[in-house]
Amino acid sequence: MNDLSPYDRYRDDAAVLAAIGARVEAQHARVTVRLPKDLADAAVAAWQRDEREAPGAETAARRRLRDHAAELALIGLAIAERGRWEGGAVLVDLAIGSAGAAVRAAE
């Protein structure tokens, strides 16, 4: 019989997921993606934005929004530094974590 509470099991599961993530990242640190110009421009604009205000107290939902905005800015940095334009799209090698964050945001 398992005496662990559900959240103890979830914490153990999260540790296993993190270990899998470390292995995936070691094998595939970057993934090449193609983005249309409007999305690439918006990501670069997020990177160039000057956020001077400290966030202060946040709800979980607001913290999640800020985290998404930060991930978008990091994608914008990657585009600005390494993006290769092909017609109306940009090809960029994204860190696997950034690509994953974008996929999770779409879910």
Q: Tell me: the pLDDT tens digits for 70-83?
A: 999 999 999 999 99
Residue with tokens 């019989």: 1
pLDDT grade, residue 20 (50/70/90)? confident
Q: Report if residue 9 sits inside a domain.
A: no
Its domain, for residue 75, covers 29-106
Whether 13 is in a domain gets the answer: no
Number of structural domains found in the chain? 1
Residue 95 structure tokens: 């860190």
Position 1 scores a pLDDT of 52
The DSSP code for 31 is E
pLDDT digits (tens, 9 = 90+) for 24-63: 888 888 999 999 999 999 999 999 998 888 878 889 999 8
Residue 40 within a domain: yes
